[in-house]
């Protein structure tokens, strides 16, 4: 059974998820480069050490957050690619409020 509206929506949603995956992967790479660039700095004062630690912590939190979003969008894409219209209909009927 073919549903043209479903197929059209599927293409648009997969395009969105693909774009999100690419942008989050690029963000992880750029944040990682930032962390490695910071390791070349040798802070000498107490304020420099505190600032260095704070910036590294913020970058690592950003990498973790972006990585989790990357995993989520990857799993959403996987669900769409390996699901079927029948699975979608069963899910919709089961969880319709």
Q: How far is 64 from 57, CA to CA, in rounded Å?
A: 11
Q: How far is 69 from 57, CA to CA, in rounded Å?
A: 18
pLDDT above 80 (res 80): no
* Contact criterion met (CB below 8 Å) for 58 and 66: no
| Domain residue spans of the chain | 27-84
User: Residue 72: is it exposed, middle or buried by C-beta count within 10 angstroms (0-12/13-18/19+)?
Assistant: middle
pLDDT digit string, tens, across residues 17-75: 888 889 989 999 999 998 888 888 888 899 989 999 999 999 999 999 999 988 888 88
Write down the pLDDT at residue 44.
Answer: 86
Question: Tokens 């073919």 correspond to what residue?
Answer: 2
């Amino acid at each position: 059974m073919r549903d043209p509206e479903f197929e059209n929506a599927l293409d648009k949603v997969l395009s969105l998820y693909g774009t999100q995956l690419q942008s989050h992967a690029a963000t992880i790479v750029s944040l990682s480069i930032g962390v490695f660039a910071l390791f070349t700095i040798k802070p000498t004062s107490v304020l420099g050490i505190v600032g260095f630690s704070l910036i590294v912590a913020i970058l690592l939190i950003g990498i973790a957050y972006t990585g989790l979003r990357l995993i989520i969008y990857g799993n959403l894409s996987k669900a769409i690619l390996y699901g079927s219209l029948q699975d979608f209909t069963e899910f919709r009927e089961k969880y319709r409020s």
